[in-house]
Structures are given as C-alpha cells and as structure tokens.
Amino acid sequence: MALIDRQDVERLFRGLVQVLAERDPARLTGTVQVAELYQQLVPYRVYRTQLGFDSNLDYEAAVLGLLAGVGGYATLEPAEAQASLAAEAASAHPDSASFREFAGARVRLDPARVRAVLGAAASYAPEPDPEPVAVPEPAKPDLAGPAFRLETAAAAAPIPTAAATPPPVTGACVQCGRGLPADRTVVFCPFCGRPVGTLTCVRCGDDLDSEWRFCPRCGATVRR
C-alpha cells in the first residue's frame, strides 16, 4: 500500500467536495458515479496542478485510495466493489487504474468530512429562494383619451383576408408527370395524390429540385 499516499487522497477529496459545492451542493449528500468523478468532476488534465499531483500515476493512486476507503473519506456502492479495490490497494504492487473496472459504481462522501471541508453543515445546504420582488401595477388606460379612441377604431376596422384558394395550376404533375386538369384549381395531383406545386421526397417529405436524382436529406431515389 506504499503507492497510495493518504495526503493525496485527502487533497483529492477536498477538491471533489469543493467542485460539487460550486456546481450542485445537493449532490454532496447523494452519490456520484465513479466514471463521472475522474472524467468530469476532478479530471487529472484539469485539476492536476490545483490538487498538487506530479503525475497521472499519483492521481490514479489517490482515486484508488479514495474508492478503496483509505481514510474513510468515501464509501463505494456496491460494497463488493469497495472490498475489491481495498484488496487491490493493500497488495504489494497495486494496479492504480483498477478502479476503472468499476466505472458504473456509486461514490458516497462521508458527511462529517464534507462538513469539515466546508466549515459547517449549513455550508452546503441549498440556498433559500429569494424574496419576491414587488412589481408595480400598470397604469390604467385613459378610456376617454384620443389614443384609446384611435386604437379602438383600428381594432374595429375589417382585416383584409387572403384568397381562400390558390391560383389554378396547369401543366404536368412534377411528381408523376401526368397531365393536370386545366379547368379547375388543382392542389393535389388526381393521379398520384402528391402536391403539385413542388417536388417532394416520398420518404421524408423534404422539398426537392426538379433535376435531383436523390433526396439530399434521406438519400431516397427521386421518383418521377
């Protein structure tokens, strides 16, 4: 167990507590995933200088010690995972990266040591909701004023509407090439049932250019 330095384990624990306190204090009383610990919360490449690790080997040894229960800073769930890492940490030549085999296990930090890092139990409690801010009531409109009369007149004016039906489409259907009736408004081809205004993909419905052979969105062959 000479490879694992308890001071390194303590520095890693303190760094982890401080990161969680800044990002999501409520998680200090829950669990974090092993993979999340060394990949996202206190990764070596980001925190090696801040945590004082000279090499990745020293960092991995500290992670192994933390998960193995060295110093009682954390427990690993399931217990079998911590027992396995504890045995590895106690071996003559421990594999410092063996904790990666338990990437899905959960780490629970010791509450008393968390309080010791942060100074008080209340330090990592969620902040209370801020006091509500009084919003002044909007001023009542002057129903007799000229501005109100102008707005009322504008609201009462009839709103022009667009034509209910599109202009008639003549020629051939861009989908199947069949001739379209010229004596009526045609929105859908009476032969293939597809919209006549634009060429669309039969698989995903995306608009197509008339010269394309394949749909640029889903790769389907353009049917004509």
> What backbone torsions phi and psi does residue 214 show, to the nearest 5 degrees?
-135, 150
What was the pLDDT predicted at 183? 78
Indicate the domain borders of the chain: 6-124, 169-224
What was the pLDDT predicted at 219? 85
Q: What is the pLDDT along the chain (224 residues), one digit of tens a residue?
A: 447 899 999 999 999 999 999 999 999 999 999 999 999 999 999 999 999 999 999 999 999 999 999 999 999 999 999 999 999 999 989 999 999 999 999 999 999 999 999 985 444 445 555 666 666 666 665 555 555 455 555 555 554 444 344 444 557 877 777 887 877 777 778 888 777 666 777 777 777 777 788 888 888 887 65
What was the pLDDT predicted at 161? 44
Angle between helices 44-51 and 6-23 (to 10 degrees): 120
What was the pLDDT predicted at 130? 63
Q: Give the contacts of 84 (CB within 8 A, at least 6 positions apart).
A: 102
What was the pLDDT predicted at 171? 75
- The residue count of the chain comes to 224
What's the CA gap between 171 and 145, in Å, rounded? 58
**DSSP calls for 167-203:** PP--SB-TTT--B--SSS--SB-TTT--BSSSEE-TT
What was the pLDDT predicted at 138? 65
